[in-house]
Structure 1
Amino acid sequence: MKQPASLFDRLWDGHEIARLGSGSALIAIDRIFLHERTGAAALRSLAEAGREVVDPNRVFAVADHIVDTRPGRTDQTLMPGGQAFISETRAAAKAAGIRFFDVNDPDQGIVHVISPELGIILPGCTLIAPDSHTCTQGAFGALAWGIGSSEAEHAMAAGTLRLKKPKSMRVSFSGSLAQGVTPKDMIIQLIALHGAAGGKGHAVEFAGDAVMALDMEGRMTLCNMATEFSAMSGFIAPDEKTFAYLKGRQYAPTSDLWDQALAQWQSLKSDDGAVFDSEIVLDANAIAPMVSWGTSPESSVRIEGRVPDNAGVRALEYMALDKGQALQGLKIDAAFIGSCTNSRLSDLRRASHMLKGKKIAPGIKAICVPGSSRVKRAAEAEGIDKIFVEAGFEWRESGCSMCFYAGGESFAANSRVISTTNRNFESRQGPNVKTHIASPETVVASAIHGAISDPRKFS
């Protein structure tokens, strides 16, 4: 009798070409995405070795990481030498015959935003990119994970990667989210409870009523931070929401091929009785808006909480906080809405609804960076940009922007920022910048009040 299989079993087994011993296997790679920070190096190394991209139609590249997001941008960047990264990736992509989403391409944007928008990621696929947040795309029932440039080079040449099979984990969220609580709070709560290393060595399936109630953009937010949980990847079984989202998108199958694909996609789920190496169950009803206090996503508490008594000295010194200190009311200098975690249209809609008719506090530097050019155009068509600008936010072109500091634009040194990004490491958003990660709702409430604020008390 056939053993019940998990979704991960199906994704892995469907791509396993050969078992290589010691738990490793040769895995078929369906899609590869490059960005301008590392893409040129991988393509150049491949060419210098005399090898070609085995299937250029399955490889994509984009300018998103260091591209300028200020209006009227060109190849020029604030990062020293950044222009060369862009121009070299453009030339290498053209030479290799792969699709490059250039600086001002109408489909340009953060890789993990544009891939779903265009239907490049599909249920059952394997997708890799030299970016740890590639796991975002597991929201579509795919196995997507971050790699290094040398692995990208190998996959482009061979269409495969050698991979050690991770253990399996299921994280289930029962119940439903309260008003003002978001998928960002769900994943931060998981990491705060089980640690930044809680998913190490595992591929994580997110499941449960609260997960399946999320729309696709919420699911992407949840899967995005699986890497902050140290998981190899995070993914969610596809359902009717997934299929409706993908139908008609540029790279999605059409006509008879769509029907064939759909029949296969509907089998991508965990069987009743499937066995996991580890299981975690959380009550979604008990989750509150979360905010980080330290220099790791695990250093987070409910927004009404306080810095814990066991907080590490280094984190406290860097963040200029004390044990037992309340986070609500803590003055901020800046607010950021963007990143591959929370820069999609639904994020901007919710934020603009809270901002409408209001102004941010005096002295706050506030920036909104849409996740893609398509998101930006759609938001502008709805008048969302005007709401942000009238409230006091800067409205930018799409890209990673100040989600991370790579020698280019950053927030002022030593400033305190409330941010929708996914990481709060030391100097993540600029030299000695103190980043508090939170949901878009919490960022907006805090920007208006000039201090970390509970979005549930927003008025």
Structure 2
Amino acid sequence: MGKGVEKMKTLYDKVWDEHVIAMDSDLSLIYVDMHYIHEVTSPQAFEGLELSGRKIRRPDKTFATMDHNTPTKVEERADITDELAKMQLETLKQNCIKNNIKLEDMDSDYNGIVHIIGPESGYTRPGMTIVCGDSHTATHGAFGAVAFGIGTSEVEHVFATQSIWQRKLKNLGVKIMGKLPKGVYAKDIILAFLKENGVSVGVSSAIEFYGDTVKDMDMEERMTLCNMAIEGGAKVGMIAPDEKTFEYIKNTKYGENENLKSDIEKWKSYFTDDESCFDRIITMDVSNLKPQITWGTNPSMTVNVDEKFPMITDASDEKAYAYMDLAPNQTSADIPVTEVFIGSCTNGRYSDLEEGAKYIQGKNVNKNIRAVVVPGSMQVKLKAEKTGLAQKYIDAGFEWRLPGCSSCLGMNPDIIDPYKHCISTSNRNFEGRQGKNARTHLVSPAMAVACAVNGKVVDISKIDV
């Protein structure tokens, strides 16, 4: 009897199937290639491991950084006053020493946000399974990896076994076509996608982004896209690797090795065989897309920068307007902005800061606005300082900080004050996300910079750079 035709698969299916160790009903035991950890979700896992008398199964496949609690001001980092944060940071350091885990601590030139330093160091690679006790682990899917966030008990399980029980996800293809207009970026695409499809569109799914627009993106834009797949309810966001992926990895700290050529040949097999493999496909044409901004309290509450805020259609709209102290038919220019935050694992990379700086245009930060730039890693910071990019921000009146998660979340000194409106390049605009009663508006870095120097939200598609 002749050999049967091999079943066509998606990118997600190919990587998943290569990592299945065992199955039990609808659950699969998946081998984990890389486990990223940080100071907030690891302490209990380390403690549980010690109490059970187990050891870290693969310290060499575990990589740690300090990011969530780290102050971004030099003077605050030198003397951390938050006792819980101080304890978590010290606990991570001691646990890494005890278990022989590589840690990029606050004194390292390679420290930074885990989802930025993993890729820029060369640890993240196509075909990997990657986990981290952080929901935005999907970022690493931009390299063709199956990457997802896990809870603290699962962190302990991966420590002990280098594996994790998971249900296989459905495949959602998101095909993005068209040349991006002036002033429109990957951040605008994902916000527009959420606006059109909602925050539950990807529940129980792995989203693969593909199409001509995605092919045209550089790796840092692709990471922005995958980073916010989680905001659409998906567990995984992915993009098939290509020559841009391989070139990016070659230029990282640990990218070049004796196996790289053969690895690349293997990586070339990671793509979806045919669109028919997807359980569902959503198509986007971004040819006429406008810069986007959120008005409400979840990322789907988004409008084009030049349109009025929508009418109230349900109780969630009403609640969002009340929290944000805004109203239907107002415009983005009506937002009383006092804070601008540029950074996070969504938009804290060098190209984000480089693109944003184009919109300074010789102006200074408006006197009514405090604008803060937080590079996503020390490498981003050092490069920006070497090239003169950092000085452009400093000269214009932006605060230039040390790396960390910063104002993305209310877990460190960079909390936004109550009732203040913050134009932010982060990924979540939930109630209290940036601090109690803080009001968050998500935008691209270019939009954030333009807002800071113009004193209000402006339509950057009308600005020549």
Shorter-chain TM band: over 0.9
Q: Could you tell me which of 274, 277, 280 is aligned with 1:278?
A: 280
* Residue in structure 2 matched with residue 351 of structure 1 by the alignment: 356
CA contact (8 A) 1:445 1:458 kept: no
Q: How does 1:319-334 map to 2 (within 5 A)?
A: 319-334=324-339
* Residue in structure 2 matched with residue 303 of structure 1 by the alignment: 305
Equivalent-residue separation in structure 2 for 1:298 and 1:24 (angstroms): 31
Deviations 1:322-352 (A, max 9, x none): 1122123432111010000001000111111
TM-score (norm 2): 0.96
Letter in 2 for 1:127: I
* Residue in structure 2 matched with residue 89 of structure 1 by the alignment: 92
CA contact (8 A) 2:70 2:412 kept: no
Letter in 2 for 1:409: D
Change (3 A) 1:290 1:335: same
Letter in 2 for 1:8: Y
Cα offset, 1:135, TM superposition = 0.3
Q: How does 1:254-403 map to 2 (within 5 A)?
A: 254-255=257-258, 257-310=259-312, 312-403=317-408
CA contact (8 A) 2:59 2:101 kept: yes
Cα offset, 1:236, TM superposition = 0.1
Equivalent-residue separation in structure 1 for 2:298 and 2:167 (angstroms): 27
Cα offset, 1:361, TM superposition = 1.1
* Residue in structure 2 matched with residue 455 of structure 1 by the alignment: 460
Q: Which moved more, 1:231-240 or 1:71-80?
A: 71-80
CA contact (8 A) 1:78 1:408 kept: no
TM-score (norm 1): 0.97
Equivalent-residue separation in structure 2 for 1:436 and 1:228 (angstroms): 15
CA contact (8 A) 1:59 1:99 kept: yes
* Residue in structure 2 matched with residue 4 of structure 1 by the alignment: 8
Cα offset, 1:253, TM superposition = 5.3
Letter in 1 for 2:142: A
Q: Which moved more, 1:118-127 or 1:12-21?
A: 12-21
> Are 1:70 and 2:70 matched, yes or no?
no
CA contact (8 A) 2:406 2:412 kept: no
CA contact (8 A) 2:132 2:148 kept: yes
Aligned residues: 457
* Coordinate RMSD, CA, aligned: 1.3
Q: How does 1:200-211 map to 2 (within 5 A)?
A: 200-211=203-214
Cα offset, 1:458, TM superposition = 2.9
Deviations 1:221-267 (A, max 9, x none): 00000010110110100000000000153333512x11221111000
Q: Could you tell me which of 28, 37, 40 is aligned with 1:37?
A: 40
Unaligned runs of 5+ in 2: none
* Residue in structure 2 matched with residue 16 of structure 1 by the alignment: 20
CA contact (8 A) 1:78 1:409 kept: no
Q: Could you tell me which of 172, 178, 182 is aligned with 2:181?
A: 178
Cα offset, 1:120, TM superposition = 0.6
Equivalent-residue separation in structure 1 for 2:273 and 2:103 (angstroms): 39
Equivalent-residue separation in structure 1 for 2:51 and 2:200 (angstroms): 38
Letter in 2 for 1:9: D
Q: Secondary structure at the match of 2:23?
A: strand
How high is the sequence identity, in percent, across the aligned residues? Answer: 38
Cα offset, 1:166, TM superposition = 1.0
Equivalent-residue separation in structure 2 for 1:299 and 1:273 (angstroms): 30
Letter in 2 for 1:18: A
* Residue in structure 1 matched with residue 172 of structure 2 by the alignment: 169
Q: Secondary structure at the match of 1:155?
A: helix
* Residue in structure 2 matched with residue 437 of structure 1 by the alignment: 442
Equivalent-residue separation in structure 2 for 1:338 and 1:229 (angstroms): 21
